Amino acid sequence: MSSGKYKPHRAFNTVQIKDGMVVRLNKNGTVRAVLGKYGEYGKQERPAAR
């Protein structure tokens, strides 16, 4: 089961908040896409509350 080499098993979260914006990052930390403002992003996908 062991390959003999140490490999960390940490997930990389590509969606993070930078400067009040929700952004998607590349593995090297550069911004890949700006998804929207924090607090407003994701509201348009939710159905209206009854």
Q: What's the pLDDT at 37? A: 92
Q: For residue 26, which amino acid is it?
A: N
Q: For residue 1, which amino acid is it?
A: M
Worst-scoring range by mean pLDDT, 27-31, 38-42, 44-48?
Answer: 44-48
Integer angstrom CA distances of residue 22 from 1, 12, 28, 29, 36 = 39, 16, 17, 14, 5
Please say if the pLDDT value at position 46 is more than 60.
no
pLDDT tens sequence across 1-24: 566 678 777 888 899 999 999 999
